[in-house]
Amino acid sequence: MLYGVSYYPEHKSNEELKWDLKLIKESGINTVRMGEFSWCRMEPEEGRYDFSWLDPVIEELGQAGIRTIVGTPTACPPAWMVEAWPDMFYQDNRRICRPFGGRRHGCYNHETYRKACAGIAKAIGKHYGRNPYVAGFQIDNELAQEGTGRCTCKNCRKKFQVWLEQKYGGIETFNRKSGAIFWSQEYRAFEQINPPVNAIEPGAQIQIRDFYESPTVRLEFERFSSESQIEFQNIQADILKAFTSYPVTTNGTGLVTNSIDYFKGFENLDCYAFDYYPNLRDAWVDSFPYAFGRGVKPDLPFWVMEFMSGGGHRLSGTGRLQPGPGALKQAVVQAFANGADLLLHYQFRSFPAGAEQLNYAIVDLDGIPRRRYYEMQETANLLKQLEPLKETSFCSEVGILLDYDSHWALKIKPVNEPEFSYMDFAGKLYYNLERIGIHSDVISLERDFLSYKALVLPASFVLKKETAKRLQEYVKQGGILIATFLTSVKNEDNLGYTIPLPAHLVEVFGVTVQEVEPVFDSNRTKLGIRLASEEDEVETRDKAWSELLAGNAKLLGYYKDTYKKDSMVISQHSFGEGTAYYVGTDLEDSAWRALFKSLLGPVCNWKDEIEAPEGVQVISRIWQEKQIYFLFNFSGQEKTVCIPAGKSDFLTKEELLQEIIIAQNGFKVIV
Amino acid sequence: MLYGVSYYPEHKSNEELKWDLKLIKESGINTVRMGEFSWCRMEPEEGRYDFSWLDPVIEELGQAGIRTIVGTPTACPPAWMVEAWPDMFYQDNRRICRPFGGRRHGCYNHETYRKACAGIAKAIGKHYGRNPYVAGFQIDNELAQEGTGRCTCKNCRKKFQVWLEQKYGGIETFNRKSGAIFWSQEYRAFEQINPPVNAIEPGAQIQIRDFYESPTVRLEFERFSSESQIEFQNIQADILKAFTSYPVTTNGTGLVTNSIDYFKGFENLDCYAFDYYPNLRDAWVDSFPYAFGRGVKPDLPFWVMEFMSGGGHRLSGTGRLQPGPGALKQAVVQAFANGADLLLHYQFRSFPAGAEQLNYAIVDLDGIPRRRYYEMQETANLLKQLEPLKETSFCSEVGILLDYDSHWALKIKPVNEPEFSYMDFAGKLYYNLERIGIHSDVISLERDFLSYKALVLPASFVLKKETAKRLQEYVKQGGILIATFLTSVKNEDNLGYTIPLPAHLVEVFGVTVQEVEPVFDSNRTKLGIRLASEEDEVETRDKAWSELLAGNAKLLGYYKDTYKKDSMVISQHSFGEGTAYYVGTDLEDSAWRALFKSLLGPVCNWKDEIEAPEGVQVISRIWQEKQIYFLFNFSGQEKTVCIPAGKSDFLTKEELLQEIIIAQNGFKVIV
Amino acid sequence: MLYGVSYYPEHKSNEELKWDLKLIKESGINTVRMGEFSWCRMEPEEGRYDFSWLDPVIEELGQAGIRTIVGTPTACPPAWMVEAWPDMFYQDNRRICRPFGGRRHGCYNHETYRKACAGIAKAIGKHYGRNPYVAGFQIDNELAQEGTGRCTCKNCRKKFQVWLEQKYGGIETFNRKSGAIFWSQEYRAFEQINPPVNAIEPGAQIQIRDFYESPTVRLEFERFSSESQIEFQNIQADILKAFTSYPVTTNGTGLVTNSIDYFKGFENLDCYAFDYYPNLRDAWVDSFPYAFGRGVKPDLPFWVMEFMSGGGHRLSGTGRLQPGPGALKQAVVQAFANGADLLLHYQFRSFPAGAEQLNYAIVDLDGIPRRRYYEMQETANLLKQLEPLKETSFCSEVGILLDYDSHWALKIKPVNEPEFSYMDFAGKLYYNLERIGIHSDVISLERDFLSYKALVLPASFVLKKETAKRLQEYVKQGGILIATFLTSVKNEDNLGYTIPLPAHLVEVFGVTVQEVEPVFDSNRTKLGIRLASEEDEVETRDKAWSELLAGNAKLLGYYKDTYKKDSMVISQHSFGEGTAYYVGTDLEDSAWRALFKSLLGPVCNWKDEIEAPEGVQVISRIWQEKQIYFLFNFSGQEKTVCIPAGKSDFLTKEELLQEIIIAQNGFKVIV
């Protein structure tokens, strides 16, 4: 596994550099990332490229066995550039420009800026494309971060109008498909359509409260902006690939930003890479982002380009907790267990200056190696021991299907905020499957899913007719499909279906939705819902959203009180060779687990043989045709876990009793 | 009673239209509202009017006995118009324009836009003014909604300056009357006076935190803007009336927006109409908006132009609760009991597109009639049975006096936000009177009130000298006046009176205010207040605001602890033939009821003979010179109510025992 | 002591003026403040000055023994001026101009506005400089109030760039010192540097959420803006001083605004003056602002230019509590005891008009003297009795060291908001010292501090190397230094030190900081910290921030659980002749007291002999070489206090028992 840190030699005096490189070389890591914020050094004036400050660092590290991921510095266009092209600034949904003085202040659709990006990418490609000490390339940095994914500048407005015209052909088609007659909004030309005033980016502010806009225009602007950024990134990708055979990628922001459709964004890149900053202090570390990472490019391992070091002042100054002793090592192993092929801590040594000053790193600002450094050193060593397990495979038999259209549409018109969020809900279902030892992948709804034993379809609000047909075919051929409330409510134009819901899937599920409403505290049923599973009966409260079902499906769960008493809310329906389940409300965690256990337990082959206590995470992979287990104790205290007989500890090679103890922040690899 | 729905034929395909009209005709309703958002269809290009798409719908429904309220579509100026006149956009207090893409984006003072509105109103008047299937006209839609009642565009600024000049004559007069010397703000010309930076509209955002402006300028801007919108509306009203004898009105937003003085706004219209969206899920439905509705045009019934259907996604997407079974019917009967002459559910069938998509309606988006449709059908039938009771009259003997000057002044300088709100406080007093069976009207302070047995004057913060004289005369002639804290603190220029408070009314109340302060948790008295009524003694905590009184009035309530101990807070004073009460703080509900019972019980003739349990609302009307009762159970459970002997059920004609049971969401009409 | 009110004769009719002056003269006060908001009267058109309206008032009061502080009216540039120079408006960090209609709408760097200010100051100086009835001059009013301390207009931007150029010389120096290489922000000319988008002023709003800027640019802009305002103020100060020998000052906003470095701001003025609005209703009144006041100009008494009257509607309208009976008198005596030489209530009589209308005053708007007026009258009388005690001195042996660089830097990058605030933390330490009878001064870190027995250095985040040397020297020579977490983390460029922390002080404290993090509820240690003092052991929870220490210092406090168990968090180290303590976390109040008692008790001579119960404040001064005591009961109820034998009541001359009773809102002066 590639393991290391981000490093910024351009910030250093010769003396500091010497000291840092000594520590880096002694740490046992094999990879660093450099260069991604150094445009003013790489190209100090237009067209003059200079890598002389970076070359010796790459060389020195390379000779010590440490290879470099070189970043293109395009997230930070330098002062000379913004002065030369003052119309290149990113402009948000309130028409406010992001000035020089931060980062990501360039409009990704600005042609001259794009040319400058192509220029620096070409220079980097030429210079480093075949350098033996280089391990790969990162394009730009965290596209769309800090609310820079939805530029509305004059240029973007024009381009959006052209994009719409190309998609729809005539304005009459657009008016009809978008329902523009609502509020008398029929356009007479694409030039009349502007980017929306409202925005769903993290951090976006709304200029005009209670300004309600066309959901079609809004969703199209999400798609246009996502595509524009992918186009921006791919200009560099194509250039770099012409000069190198090393992996070329960019770093996504995991589940946080979601302003770019990563399923599309990484198509043209060599591997999925993302940044992850979990809390490492006695806290559960979610596997869901890793599962998402495996799903973006299904046949390839993924990279964690930036990873938590812990402690420090954060960008905002508020501060971050230190990792508990052992937690850093534990988290790196967890990333490995989840399939990461590279992990770089952010960063090697704290910054004294700039927006991220005092944001802690592996080594404190005074350059003295302390706890986090020594733990990284141990981890580097440990990873070598774990290397044989890289060849293990995942044993997922369930697919969780995600889609950016639904994600965006549910941000544009959130059904019950903040209680319900599409991504969090998908994560919750993943978590509950993981907790009962059922292994799932998280994949694009567009992908081929026929090979999965079962599919979970969380709140697929926007669902194309063709997708409905693919799902129908899947069940028909024997698949198990578990869909939830808010399935297939809208078409790809973000318009509500005018046919019974779940649209185009009524036949498959054997139910129609009779009545819907949000679930607030005021209308939550008191007695809740009863799940009549085959094994035993579970009770739960309804959450977030409620749908009453009717049809010829088998009743699997029903309301216990209020006027909804006895109404079906969970249904089971045989269709073709398969079975389709519809779950009309969100459930409590324990009820989801009971339901999944009952529905999926019997059909999955690779269920875990370990029942993990609260706070212990089990990750299972197939090695030499057997399941092996990674156990992580996130509970903040020592834990005892029961395991099957005859297992041994991969690292110590010791045979294990059936009751093993895992220390706080500890882990075990059991084979 | 006119009963029905809003409907949008312009959104429909032929097939959808056919299906919808079939359902509408089968539903038993007699009225629909159409056209109010369809400008781009009614006038697809400047000056070319087209009603050919609407005519057949009106015709088909009319032949089935369903008449149409036709709306003028001026809330949604179409794309061609805003392109032609780019200076017509509404501009808020932060100088931010509301772009095309929502609704209400036109400035109501823009001359060319006004001409276009006159044009479409004239076309509608000519085309539909004598159509036998038309039932009336609605001008525009929800003026001032979503924060569009306070335009500050260049044109409005100029007009405001002229308006001030016309009102004040010279700038010296303005300076003196507004106290402009404060903070050295004396103007030298009206051109120097700008609309305020701060705004009190719902949804208004403040650009400059801690920017403090002249309360006189602010109140004048409220008045100017309200008048401008009334002027805007009346251009259409005058035109329509020239062509029709059907009622012409517009739909107010009830107690929500309050950016327009509805007492003035409906003077030139044929009836008051407003929109009301109460929660229909096991919740108390306030009568206060209806009482307000009766008071706007005192001799006429009012209309509920839009009314809750329940369920759905709302404009924001957040979602609305479904009505409990029976609650829709119950609420319509309550509106009828409260004097509504028309009620239209919003709307017939959900929108697939646009800002209000998935906002539920009587019929779901899939067009399948379900619970709400069938309940509307039953309700339509029921209303026919109740028709004879339309001839009943109200038996209000108490007048609650409201005034927009005080409402606005208390928003401009709120005394204890959010605890105290003028409108909510008036509603609270109404509620407590209703709960003890004392019937009140809610009327403009400007109206003749001599005929009422008693007047309630809640927090009449701004009170003209002439009004004080009218109140004085009322008491002198034998009236009972109950005023509260914050009475007559400021004059009509929104300047504090420099004489003892309540200004110009000290003689009437026999008290002056000695000391005032807000009541927060930190200074609320622990033992509170004792009401020494004639019958028994009641204790209560003080709330919102505290005034200590002194004078020769009789002590009716006093503080029980802190330094306020024994200070008078409620006073009683005989003046002429009448009595004036001053209540120096807000009380708990039960104390208000005890106080009202003690003061008003002895003088009111038409008190209810029914003591309603918690959650049951009693509305009483006079029929054949006897009180009849409508009882509504909003408690969320079955309720037993004791009624006088000898009553019968109006609907079943059955004689009733003295103990009757009302089901959850149920009601009874007792005669 | 100078005691009185603010008064606004320009608002009054002749009749009102006559009445008010009668009341003022009968009240016993000796000082009024006038004129500070009356520019449109003092200079009704450019260059024409008129004091004829003010002269007779000053004359009449003067003849009655009441002298006037005359204010320059420059906080409110009049309408003719802003019309003439439309580029003079104050512009905030979002580029939004503050229009005419409030106050403080002028840019303090605008040259023509500055000239007009100089002009009016000169006219006032000439006219009143030698008037025997004048007591002094106030420049402007509350500079920087309501978020007007950080203008970013075109002119200010230019001036900031020039200021930076003058400070740094070349742009390369700036780039290096500010670490501009971070995020590729190296400038090529000072013209490229703009004022920050973010602001830390009270009330400032952030235009671009998540916009992260250079902390160096941000701190420099704080300094530049503070200096600009001081420059603005000193233009007037220099002019006035040329015409008068009376004191010339301005009114700071105490600890609230802090947008101006008051230590520098008052260098050129004759005394420190500030405005203070404590809650006077059964609430503790902090002495910290007074201690700060004594420290600004250490050898001079300070003024309280505006002080609470109580009650009323406030600028926002929300309302203020009335003072409890006696509390006003009590608070004035407390100000006297704390060293105030002047105190003026704000204000004499409420305003009927303008932004501050109904904001209560000593006399209500109706002009009738009531409780507050009579209490002011008694207080005026009482102050005469206390006059001999003016000659007492303070007995502070401890210095608390404050610095605006640290204050601003911790606002720019707050470490744990809102839990930790620099000023509040300093106030908390002052409070705990006061509660145990140890007397401290609050002084600038730049000042000479060698004479103090001990120094307390709270969170001195930004600390120059030279200051570190001065502190080192202080300890070496025998001083006691108690520093806390976050000491000497950054240099004067607001860059993190790259040497072990506390930078340049490791030798003095004998520790280095090993690890830091914020303390949230989630990571607060459960068992907390144990203070091993010499006398007894105290336990406390950690708060706000946590630093683990290591070194050869003596362990004085350590963590009791989590991975921090047994780590040093409080250290003691002998250095030279003195001792240095480092406290690595915030403590609970009781623990701070125990710690201070143990460390400082043995070395302070002037400790109080009184142990005050909760809610009773003791202020001690030296009179005739003995300690005398002012005791204030802020507890909201009667309190019994034990005092040493042989004391007597200064006012009644009675001998006192060892147990005395102080009434609610009462006080005692014990000699």
> Which of A40, A50, A141, A664 to probe the C interface (max C CBs under 10 A)?
A40
* Residue B312 predicted with pLDDT over 90: no
Q: Confirm whether residue A117 is marked as ligand binding.
A: no
How close, in Å, is residue B391 to chain A by CA atoms? Answer: 36
> What letter represents residue C475's amino acid?
V
Q: What is the CATH number of domain B2-148+244-390?
A: 3.20.20.80
Residues of chain C contacting A85 with CB distance shorter than 8 Å? none
In order of A154, A171, C242, the CA distances from A166 in angstroms are 19, 10, 75
Would you list the domain boundaries of chain C? 2-149+227-389, 154-222, 398-603, 616-670
pLDDT at B479 over 70: yes
Choose, out of C164, C183, C412, C488, the residue to mutate when testing the contact with A (most A CBs < 10 Å). Answer: C183
Partners of A19 on chain C (C-beta within 8 Å) are none
Taking Cα atoms as reference points, which of A531, A408, A562 lies closest to residue B321? A562
Strand partners, B661: B640
For residue C532, what pLDDT band results from cuts at 50, 70 and 90? confident
Annotated binding-site residues of B for substrate read 103, 141
Whether A546 contacts A561, CB under 8 Å = no
Do the beta carbons of residue A445 and residue A403 sit within 8 Å?
yes
**Hey, are the CB atoms on C495 and A357 less than 8 Å from each other?**
yes
Please determine, for residue C256, whether its predicted confidence score (pLDDT) is greater than 90: no
Residue B587's nearest CA partner among B535, B536, B525 is: B525
* pLDDT at position C316 over 90: no
Which residues of C are less than 8 Å from A319 in CB distance?
415-416, 517-518, 545
Mark whether B492 is an active-site residue: no
* Strand, coil or helix: B456: strand
Which of A7, A15, A259, A288 is closest to A148 using CA atoms?
Answer: A259
pLDDT per residue as tens digits for the range C424-460: 999 999 999 999 999 999 999 999 999 999 999 999 9
C419 is catalytic: no
Least CA distance to C370: which residue of chain B?
Answer: B514
| pLDDT > 90: percent of chain B | 93
Measure the CA–CA gap between C84 and C359, rounded to whole angstroms: 33
Between chains, do C215 and A355 touch, taking CB under 8 Å as contact?
yes
Position A535 scores a pLDDT of 64
For residue C313, which residues of chain B lie inside 8 Å, CB to CB? 413, 415
What mean pLDDT value characterizes chain A? 96
Q: Collapsing DSSP states into helix, strand and coil, what is residue A568?
A: strand
Q: Give me the mean pLDDT over the B605-615 stretch.
A: 91
The shortest CB-CB distance from B103 to any of A183, A197, A522 is to: A183
Say if residues B529 and B558 touch (Cβ distance below 8 Å): yes
B631-659 mean pLDDT: 97
CB contact under 8 A, A353 and C517: no
Q: Burial letters for A420-433: b for 16+ Cβ neighbours within 10 Å, e otherwise?
A: bbbbebbbbbbbbb
Would you state the torsion angle of the CA atoms of residues C215, C219, C225, C230, taken in this order, to the nearest 10 degrees? Answer: 180
Is B356 within 8 Å of A520 when comparing Cβ atoms?
A: no
Pick the CATH number of C2-149+227-389 from 1.10.3470.10, 3.30.420.40, 3.40.50.620, 3.20.20.80: 3.20.20.80
Q: What is the DSSP string of C640-661?
A: EEE--TT-BBTTT--B--SEEE
3-state helix, strand, coil in chain C (%, to 5): 30, 25, 45
B184 vs C76: CB contact, 8 Å cut-off?
Answer: yes
C153 appears as a binding residue in the annotation = yes
Q: What is the predicted pLDDT for the residue at B331?
A: 98
Percentage of chain A exceeding pLDDT 70: 99
Chains with ≥3 CB–CB distances under 8 Å to A: B, C
Q: Which two tokens stand for residue B126?
A: 């000519």
Residue C258 annotated in ligand binding: no
Point out the least confidently predicted range of A47-51, A316-320, A341-345, C279-283: A316-320
Query: What local confidence, expressed as pLDDT, does residue C610 receive?
Result: 94
d(CA A612, CA A438) in angstroms, rounded, equals 12
The phi-psi region of residue B205 (left if phi > 0; otherwise alpha if psi is between -120 and 50; otherwise beta) is beta
Angle at alpha carbon of residue B156, lines to B150 and B160, rounded to 5°: 95
- Structure tokens of A568? 């079906």
Q: What's the gap between Cα B142 and its chain centre?
A: 12
The whole-angstrom separation of Cα A12 and Cα A29 is: 20
pLDDT at B537 over 80: no
| A384 phi and psi angles, rounded to 5 deg | -65, -40
> How many CA atoms are closer than 13 Å to the CA of A525, on its beta-carbon side?
27
Q: Contact A352/C497, CB-based, under 8 Å?
A: yes
Q: Which of C152, C184, C413, C511 should be substituted to probe chain A, the one whose Cβ sees the most A Cβ atoms within 10 Å?
A: C184
pLDDT on residue C374: 98
- For A274-283, b/e burial (b = at least 16 CB within 10 A) is bbbbbbbbbb
> What count of Cα atoms within 13 Å lies in the side-chain half-sphere of residue C327?
25
Catalytic annotation, pick one of A306, A397, A434, A446: A306
> Which one is catalytic: C36, C43, C222, C306?
C306
* Contacting residues of A for B99, CB less than 8 Å apart: 194, 197
Minimum distance, in Å, between the CA of residue C209 and any CA atom of chain A: 6
Give the other-Cβ count within 10 Å of A512's Cβ: 22
CB C571 within 8 A of CB C551: yes
Q: Which of B188, B209, B517 sits opposite C322 (nearest CB)?
A: B517
Strand partners, C4: C31, C344
Beta-carbon contacts of residue B440 (< 8 Å; ≥ 6 apart): B291, B396, B397, B398, B399, B400, B430, B433, B434, B456
Share of chain A above pLDDT 90, in %: 93
Average pLDDT over residues C331-336: 98
Tell me what pLDDT residue C608 has. 87
pLDDT at B310: 87
Q: Does domain A398-603 have CATH number 3.40.50.2000?
A: no
Is C107 known to sit in a ligand binding site?
Answer: yes
Given A98, A354, A371, which is nearest C179 (Cβ)? A354
> How far apart are the CA of C358 and the nearest CA of chain B, in angstroms?
7
Q: Select which of B36, B43, B201, B306 is catalytic.
A: B306
Q: What are phi and psi of B277, to 5 degrees?
A: -125, 65
| CA C118 distance to own-chain centroid | 27
Determine whether A394 is exposed, middle or buried from the number of CB atoms within 10 Å of its CB (0-12, 13-18, 19+). middle
Q: Tell me the β-bridge partners of A304.
A: A274, A343
Q: What are the strands, taking DSSP E only, across A473-577?
A: 480-484, 511-519, 529-532, 537-540, 543-551, 554-559, 568-575
Q: Which chains touch C (3 or more CB pairs under 8 A)?
A: A, B
Between the two ends of chain C, the Cα-to-Cα distance in Å is 20
Q: Measured between CB atoms, which of C40, C325, C352 is closest to B495?
A: C352
Taking the CA of residue B349 and the nearest CA in chain A, the distance in Å comes to 10
The per-residue pLDDT for B304 is: 98
Per-residue pLDDT tens over the stretch C262-312: 999 999 999 999 999 999 999 999 999 999 999 999 989 999 999 999 888
3-state SS track over C573-642: EEECCEEEEEECEECCHHHHHHHHHHHHHHHCCCCCCCCCCCCEEEEEEEECCEEEEEEEECCCCCEEEE
pLDDT at residue B111, rounded to an integer: 98
Q: What pLDDT score does B534 carry?
A: 59
* Beta carbons of C529 and C558 less than 8 angstroms apart: yes
Q: How far is C447 from chain A (nearest CA, A)?
A: 28
* pTM, entire model: 0.97
Distances (CA, A) of A266 to C29, C119, C153: 79, 67, 44
Whether A576 has a pLDDT exceeding 80, the answer reads yes
pLDDT, tens digit, 9 for 90 and up, residues C372-418: 999 999 999 999 999 999 989 998 999 999 999 999 999 999 999 88
Which residue in A98, A101, A352 is closest to C194 by CB distance?
Answer: A101
- Under DSSP, the state recorded for A235 is H
- Contact residues, chain A, for B100 at CB < 8 Å: 185, 192, 194
**C314 pLDDT above the threshold of 90:** no
The span from the CA of B7 to the CA of B519, in Å, is: 48
Alpha-carbon distance values, C427 to B75, B318, C402 (Å): 56, 45, 11
What pLDDT shows up at residue B536?
A: 67
A481: left (phi over 0), alpha (psi -120 to 50) or beta: beta
- Please identify which residue in the block is written with the tokens 């060698």: C450
- CA–CA dist C454, C472 (Å, integer): 13
Q: Do the bridges between strand A626-633 and strand A616-623 make them parallel or antiparallel, or are there none, so unpaired? A: antiparallel
* B284-301 b/e (C-beta count within 10 Å ≥ 16 → b): bbbbbbbbbbbbbbeebb
Chain C residues inside the 8 Å CB shell of B192: 79, 83, 100
pLDDT at C533 over 70: no
Read off the pLDDT of residues B350-400 as tens digits, 9 standing for 90 and up. 999 999 999 989 999 999 999 999 999 999 999 999 999 998 999 899 999
Average pLDDT over residues A544-551: 97
- Longest alpha-carbon distance in chain C: 77
A155 annotated ligand binder: no
Q: Is the pLDDT of residue B104 over 70?
A: yes
C-chain CB neighbours of A37 within 8 Å are: 182-184
Chains that touch B (3 or more CB pairs under 8 A): A, C
Q: Please give the average per-residue pLDDT across B525-534, as a whole number.
A: 81
- Minimal-distance CA residue of chain A relative to B38: A184
Nearest to C319 among B211, B498, B517 (CB): B517
**Cβ within 8 Å, pair A319-C518:** yes
Q: What's the pLDDT at A61?
A: 98
Question: Which architecture does CATH list for A616-670?
Answer: Sandwich (2.60)
Q: How close C423 gets to chain A, by Cα (Å)? A: 17
Contact yes or no for B317 and A208 at CB 8 A: no
- In this predicted structure, the answer to whether residue C318 has a pLDDT above a threshold of 90 is no
Strands A480-484 and A454-457: parallel
List CB contacts (< 8 A) between B523 and chain C.
281, 321
Which amino acid, A525? T
Mean pLDDT is highest, among A607-621, B593-607, C22-36, for C22-36
CA separation for the pair B323, B235 (Å, rounded):
39
d(CA B294, nearest CA chain A) in Å: 30
Per-residue model confidence (pLDDT) at position A539:
87
> Do the annotations mark residue A103 as ligand-binding?
yes
Closest to B184 (Cβ–Cβ): which among C37, C325, C356? Answer: C37
Provide the percentage of residues in chain C whose pLDDT is more than 90: 93
Sign of the CA dihedral running B124, B126, B127, B129: positive
The per-residue pLDDT for B533 is 64
State whether C354 and B517 contact (CB < 8 Å): no
How far off is chain A from B620, nearest CA to CA, in Å?
Answer: 30
